[in-house]
Chain A
Amino acid sequence: MRTAIEINRLCKTYRGSKTPAVDQLTLTVPEGAVFGLLGPNGAGKTTTIHILCGLRSFDSGEISIAGYSPKRRWKDIRRRIGFVPQDIALYPSLTAYENLQVFGGLMGLRGKLLKNRINELLHLFGLEHGKHRLIEHYSGGMKRRINLIAGLLHRPEILFLDEPTAGVDVQTKNLMLDNLKTINREGHTIIYTSHYMEEAETLCTQIALIDGGKTICTGTPSGLIAQTKGCDKLEDVYLQLTGKKLRDE
C-alpha cells in the first residue's frame, strides 16, 4: 500500500520552551486511511498537524506528504491537502457562499466547477438554505460544517481535521462523521485528531496514540483494544496508556 504521509524522527521545540512539543515522532499514514492522531492536551497533535500543513517550521527529522518533501515542494503539497483547523477559520462578515467561493477559488477551482462543488457540499451538509447568510449569524454547529466544507472543496488527497466536531450537537456530529466516511470511501486520506474516543473508534481505520510528543502505540482501533489487557473500548486503552493525571498545556 502506498503511503500518504511519512514522518521520520520529527522534532520541534518551541522558542523559550525546555521540553519538546514533538520528540522523535515517527509515523506512517497509509493512503486511503482515516488516521486518528490521539493524545491528551499538549501531546503534540496540533503541532504535528501544523508542521504537516506548513504552518510551523520544524527543528529536525524528515517528512513526506503525498510523495513530496516540503523542503522544496510546498506549492505542490498545498494543492493536495485540505486543512480544517480546530477553531472556526472563516470570515465572519462574509456569507457562507462567499467564504467558500474565496477558499475554493484560491484552491484553483473556477466558474461552474466551483459553483457546483459549493452547492453540492452545502447540500450534503444540509446548509443550502442559509448559504447567503453572514457567517457571524450562523450557529456554532453550522459554522463547524462550513469550516469542514471549506477544507473539502477542492477534494484534497489528504485532509487534516483538527478536532472537527468539538462543541457540536449529536445530530451535527453524526452528519459530519457520515459524510467524512463517504469522503474517505471516495479515496481521500483523512488525518484526524479528537478527544472523543468513541468517535475515533467508529471513524478511524488506523490510530496513533501520542503523548509528550512521542508515539506510544499505533494500530487499528480493534487491534489496540485487543492488545491492551482489560480494555474493551478505545477510551480504556487511552487512559491505560496515557494515565489519569490531568494535563495542563
Chain B
Amino acid sequence: MNGLRWLIYKDGLLLLRDKAGLCMMFLMPMLLALIMTYLQDSTFNAIHETRIPLLLLNADKDSLGMAIERQIGASGIFSVATGIDGQPAERDALIKAVGRGDFMMGIIIPENATNHIRKNVKRYVAGAFSGKNISLKSDSVQVEIFIDPVTKNSFRSTLISTLREYAVRTESDFLFREITAEVNKHSPLPAPDIRLARNKVILKEQYAMPDKAKTIPNSTQHNIPAWGMFAVFFIAVSLSGNLIRERGDGSFTRLRTMPCPYYLYMSAKVIIYSLVCLLQLAAIFLMGLFLFPLLGLPALTIGNGWLSLLGVGLCSALAAIGYGTIIGQIASSHQQAAVFASVSVVIMAAIGGIWIPVFVMPLPMQWLSACSPLNWGLEGFYDILIRGGNWRALLPECAASSAFFILCAIAAVVYDKKKRIDI
C-alpha cells in the first residue's frame, strides 16, 4: 500500500503541474456545456417565447380576415404587424419587406375573401337541398403567403397549419349557418343556429416517465450530462499523454526495476483519473445547479439520484481510463496519442448522441450509437435525470462501461508485455 500511496502522490503532482491539461479537462467541457445549453435554450425559446415576426395584409376586413388576424395574434407564436413603419402595406411592399428579412413571413388575404366563401357555401347548401351538385372549384379563395428564404421549415409548417385551421373554421361556420337557414325554410319549427363545438377533442401532451419523476426535459437536463460525458472521455488525451511521457522520459523504465508491478502502477492512475472524472462531473453538474439559473438558463434537477449519478460517473470514468490507457500503450508519440485520442473522442461523442440526440439519427447510426461508450454513460445519466429510473435501469449501461474498462486493461497489459518485455 505504501507503493500505491507514492504512485498516487506522483500522478497527482504530474497532473497538477500540467496546467494546459487541467484547463482542457475542466474549463473546456464547462464552457462547452454552457455555450451549447445557451444556444439550444435560445432555439427552444425562439419557438416558445420569441414570436415570429409576420406582416399581414388583410384586405378582406370580414369574417375570414378578422378571424385569421385575431387567431394568429392570439396563437402566441407570431408577432403580427399590419403595416410597415405605421403605414398600411401594399402587396409589393410586403414582398420586399419579407425578402429583406424584416419579417419572416407575409400573408395577403384578398379583398372579399369572406364573401367568396360565403357565396360558395350558400350555393353549395342551396344546391344540396335542391338535389343539384355544384362545384366550388372555380370560386376558390387564394391566400398568399410569402416566406423569408432563411425561415425554418418548422415555422412555415406552423403558419400554414394555423391558416388552414382558421379557413376551415370560417368555412364550417358559414356552412352550419346556411344549413340552419335552409332547415328553417323547410321546417315548421324554427331551429336555433347550429354552432360547431370547439376543442371537444382535447390533446393532452405529457412525457412518458414513471409516476414519481417530475422533471421536465429541457436543454440543461440534456446538455449537462452530455458534456459531462464528453469531459470524462477527454481525459483520454491527458492519460495517454501521461503514459507516453513516462515511457519517453525513462521514468517508467526505472519504475519497472522497482518493486512496482504493472497493476500497482495502473491502479494509481485509475484512482487519480477516476477522481479527476468525478471532479469534472461535479463541476459541470454544480454549474447546472447553481450557475445556469443565474444566467437565465433552466436549473438542473437531480432529485434524489445522487448515488446513482455517482455510480454512472464512476463506471464511465473507468471506461474512459481504459480507453486512454490503451491509446497510451499503442501510440508511439505524444502527438500521435493526442491527435488520435481527441479526434476519436469527438467521433465517439458525435455517434454517442452528445451533439445530436440519438433518436433523430438515421437507423444505422442509431445502431452504431449503441457501440459508443459515451452513449452508455449518457443513457445512464438520462435514465436518472430525465426518465427518473432507479438503479436497476442503470445496470446495462454500467455493466457495458465496466466491461469495456476490463477489456482495455487486459489489452494494455498484454500489449505492454509483448511489445516492451518480450521483444
Contact = CB atoms under 8 A, between A and B. Distances in A.
Interface of A: 14-15, 53-57, 75, 78-79, 81, 83, 85, 87-94, 98, 101-103, 105-108, 110, 134, 150-151, 160
B6 A102 contact: yes
A3 B118 CA distance: 117
A185 to B, nearest CB: 24
Given A54-B256, A57-B421, A83-B257, A106 B250 contact: no
Contact of A89 (B7, B253, B259): B253
A170 B250 CA distance: 25
Contact of B259 (A78, A92, A110): A78
Interface in B247-291: 249-251, 253-260
B7 to A, nearest CB: 7
A20 B260 CA distance: 29
B14 interface: yes
Contacts of B13: 91, 93-94, 98
Q: Determine the main DSSP class of A at the interface with B.
A: loop
Contacts of B422: 15, 57
A102 B259 contact: no
Contacts of A91: 10, 13-14, 246, 249, 251
B5 to A, nearest CB: 7
12 contacts: A15-B423, A55-B253, A90-B249, A90-B251, A91-B246, A93-B18, A94-B13, A94-B14, A101-B6, A102-B10, A108-B259, A110-B2
Contact of A56 (B10, B14, B17, B423): B423
Q: Which of A15, A57, A88, A91 has the most CB of B within 10 A?
A: A91
B136 to A, nearest CB: 83
A6 to B, nearest CB: 19
B259 A75 contact: yes
A53 to B, nearest CB: 4
Interface in B302-326: none
Given A55-B421, A57-B421, A106 B14 contact: no
Interface residues on chain B, size class: 20 to 34
Interface string B1-28: 0110111011001100110000000000
Interface of B: 2-3, 5-7, 9-10, 13-14, 17-18, 246, 249-251, 253-260, 421-423
A56 B3 contact: no
Q: Which of B5, B9, B250 has the most CB of A within 10 A?
A: B250
Contact of A106 (B246, B260, B421): B260
Contacts of B5: 105
A89 B256 contact: no
A94 B17 CA distance: 8
Q: Which of B3, B18, B255, B257 has the most CB of A within 10 A?
A: B257
B251 A89 contact: yes
A89 B250 contact: yes
A222 B42 CA distance: 86
B257 A53 contact: yes
A103 B253 CA distance: 12
A55 B257 CA distance: 7
A103 B257 CA distance: 11
A83 B259 contact: no
B316 to A, nearest CB: 28
Given A78-B259, A92-B249, A103 B2 contact: no
A55 B256 CA distance: 7
B257 A106 contact: no
Of all A-B residue pairs in the complex, the 6 with the closest CB atoms, nearest first, are A89-B250, A105-B6, A83-B257, A89-B254, A93-B17, A53-B257
Contact of A105 (B2, B14, B423): B2
Contacts of B18: 93
Contacts of A83: 254, 257
Given A106-B258, A106-B259, A160-B257, 14 more contacts: A15-B422, A78-B257, A83-B254, A90-B249, A91-B10, A91-B14, A91-B246, A91-B249, A93-B13, A93-B14, A98-B10, A102-B10, A103-B258, A105-B9
A110 B6 CA distance: 10
Nearest to A135: B249
B421 A56 contact: yes
B261 to A, nearest CB: 8
Contacts of B257: 53-55, 78, 81, 83, 160
A87 to B, nearest CB: 5
B255 A106 contact: yes
Contacts of B250: 85, 87-90
Contacts of A55: 253, 256-257, 421
A151 B18 CA distance: 26
A13 to B, nearest CB: 10
Given A56-B421, A101-B6, A105-B6, A85 B253 contact: yes
A210 to B, nearest CB: 20
A196 to B, nearest CB: 21
A225 to B, nearest CB: 33
